[in-house]
């Protein structure tokens, strides 16, 4: 009897290990979002900015504040605010929607060597800009966590009468 149950127990443990983590609701400045915390990364809440750390790598989620204008102009200003200057250039740009809102995915690199890549996701939520970005570290080590966080991001409506609701 025990031998017959062993394969089923192994299968059950395998499914439990492969379970995808649930997004966690966090307050980032004035914005409430749900995002998956990457496994094995420490999370720090600084109010306007949340940071995930693992060894030397850093990923940040930041309330960039109220910004007027079209999204592309807003993204250019946000990149400047985050230190992306003439020594860096945009290697990749994509237009997408996050939780039904306009967003831009930007990848930058060093203008001379085309190394030291960074990735940014900017989302406009009711004229407030939210930025998710790789802050420091080796890009290849941060990319899986960044991709999972970006793909899981959902804004939470706190104005409705039914409580928090992911959108």
In the chain, pLDDT over 70 holds for what percent of residues?
83
pLDDT 10s digits, 119-166? 999 999 888 999 999 999 999 999 999 999 999 999 997 655 444 444
The confidence band for 18, taking pLDDT boundaries of 50, 70 and 90, is low
pLDDT of residue 11: 47
Are 34 and 157 spatial neighbours (Cβ–Cβ below 8 Å)?
Answer: no
CA–CA distance, 46 with 90 (Å, rounded to integer): 28
Domains, the chain, with CATH or none: 22-166 (3.40.1000.10)
pLDDT in tens, 43-64: 999 999 999 999 999 999 999 9
């Amino acid at each position: 009897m025990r031998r017959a149950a062993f394969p089923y127990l192994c299968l059950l443990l395998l499914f439990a290990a492969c379970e995808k983590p649930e997004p966690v609701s966090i307050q980032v400045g004035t914005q409430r979002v749900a995002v998956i915390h990457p496994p094995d990364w420490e999370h720090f809440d600084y109010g306007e900015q949340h940071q995930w750390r693992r060894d030397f790598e850093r990923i940040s989620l930041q309330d960039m504040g109220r910004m007027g204008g079209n999204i592309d102009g807003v993204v250019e200003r946000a990149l400047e605010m985050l230190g992306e200057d003439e020594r860096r250039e945009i290697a990749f740009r994509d237009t997408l929607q996050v939780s039904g809102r306009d967003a831009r995915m930007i990848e930058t690199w060093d203008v001379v060597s085309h190394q030291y890549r960074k990735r940014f996701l900017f989302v406009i939520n009711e004229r407030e800009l939210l930025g998710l970005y790789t802050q420091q570290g080796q890009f290849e080590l941060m990319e899986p966590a960044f991709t999972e966080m970006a793909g899981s991001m959902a804004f939470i409506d706190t104005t409705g009468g039914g409580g928090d609701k992911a959108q």
